[in-house]
Each structure stands twice: as structure tokens, then as C-alpha cells.
Structure 1
Amino acid sequence: MALVLAGCGAPKPPELVVYAASSLTDAFQALGPAFEAAHPGARVTFAFAGSQTLRLQLEQGAPADVFASAD
């Protein structure tokens, strides 16, 4: 009997991808470390740009867990 365990090993730490309007940079950069402290092992990655630019990227399939628009 053969048992295949593809992809087994230590799970990848969770990552939260946040797309946010440039005008929200200071607020989200302050929240990032607080989120990571409250969720050990989690990592927050930010992408800051204009709301319309981010919206277009999302429509084209860019992966994001959170979208914070200034509009």
C-alpha cells in the first residue's frame, strides 16, 4: 500500500494582503504591526496606490484580502 502526502510539511504562515488607497497609508501601516501582534505568525502585506488603480488591478485578478478605497 502506497501513501502519498504531497505538499505535506509545515503550513505556510497566513498572509493578509491589503490593497489600500495612498491616502490611507499612515493608518494602515499603524494597524499592520498591531494585527501581526494579535495574530502570531500572520503577516500583513500592503499595496498602496490610487483607488482606481487598485480597483483595476483587482478586476484583472490581483489577489487581495482587503480593499480599502478612498472613494
Structure 2
Amino acid sequence: MSKSTDDAALLRQRAGTPMNPTDPDAPLTEQTAAELRELALEKGEPFDGSLTELQAQERIKALKEM
């Protein structure tokens, strides 16, 4: 990787963006976890911090539709 690629990857990590957003096994970011936690609390649903980023995004979508 080049220096600029490394810098971009570091910035994405700090921003809470997964390195490869299409990776179904990407770990849950702090930003997504916070949004999921807040929505689950509002809806009276349990929060599952063991979800992957993709699973959490799908759960957030479902909670918003409730």
C-alpha cells in the first residue's frame, strides 16, 4: 500500500467506516454500535453488540421501520 492509501484507511477507521464496507464479516464500528444501541433502547429491543457491521446495518433498518 502507498502512504496515501494507508492514510485514507486510517481516516476511515477513525471515522468508524469499515475498511471494506461490502465485507459481510466486517466488525461493528463504534458509530454503528452507538446508533444501534440508541434505536434499540428507543424501541425497547435488546442491543446485540456481537453483530457484524452488515448485520447491524440491517438491524438498524428494521428498527427504523418499526
When normalised by structure 1's length, the TM-score is 0.23
Q: Report which structure shows greater RCO (CA 8 Å, sep ≥6).
A: 1
Larger Rg over CA atoms: 1
In terms of fraction of residues, the more strand-rich structure is: 1
Between structures 1 and 2, the one with greater helix share: 2
